[in-house]
Amino acid sequence: MDNRLSFSSHVTNVTRLCRFLLYNIGRIRPFLSTQATQVLVQSLVISRLDYCNSLLAGLPLNAIRPLQMIQNAAARLVFNLPKFSHTTPLLRSLHWLPVAARIRFKTLMLAYKAKNGPSYLKALVTPHTAPRSLRSTSTARLVPPSLRGKGRYSSRLFSVLAPRWWNELPLDVRTAESLAVLQTATEDLPLPEFGDDPFLFQHD
C-alpha cells in the first residue's frame, strides 16, 4: 500500500504471480481438456484476482486494468485461443464478471452482511429510516455518510461506497431474503457508470 492508497504494488504483485501461474498452466495446456483448464485457472488465478478485491473499490479503471488483462489472458487460455482473441464472449461463456464488476459484487455482498449481521457489523452501515407516515413502505436503502471535512480518499471508504452502490440496486434486490438470492440477482445487473452491460467495460 502506498501513501495515495492506489494499491499499485498489490496490483503489480498479483499480476506478476498470476502471469507466472498462467505461463505454467499454458505449458501443460495441450494435455488438458477445456474443463480441466477452467478448474485449474479458477482455482489458481481467478481466486487470486478475487482475494480481498473489495479493497480496490473506488479505484479508477486504469488502476485495475492489469488485473483485467490477466483475466482476459486466463479466459483465452481456457479456450486455447490466440493472444489477441476477443474476450467478451469468452467471459460470458465462463460466467466470469469482469474485474471491476467483481469488485462491486464483493462490496455489495459485504454490505448485505453488514446490514443483516451482528451489531458490530451493522455499525458500518446506516439503514434509511422513512418518515412515520411512510414507514409501512420499506425502501431498504442505506444512508451515505457526509464527506464534509473528510480526507482526500474518503470517497473510497466502504462506509461511503457501499451505501451508494447498494442504493443503486432495484428495490426487489435490496429486499432479497437471503445472501444467495442477492448473489443471483446482482450478477447480471447493469452498472450505472458503465451502461447496461457489465461486460462492455472490460479491456481486451
Q: Give the H/E segment covering residue 112.
A: helix 99-116
Tell me what pLDDT residue 125 has: 82
Tell me what pLDDT residue 149 has: 56
Cα angle 31, 32, 37; round to 5: 145
How confident is the model over 72-92, as pLDDT tens digits? Answer: 999 999 999 999 999 999 999
Separation CA 128–CA 119 (nearest Å): 16
Tell me what pLDDT residue 2 has: 59
Q: Which residues of 38-48 are buried (b: 16+ CB within 10 A; e: fewer)?
A: bebbeebbbeb
Q: Within the chain, which residues score under 70 in pLDDT?
A: 1-5, 130-138, 147-153, 188-204
Global pTM? 0.82
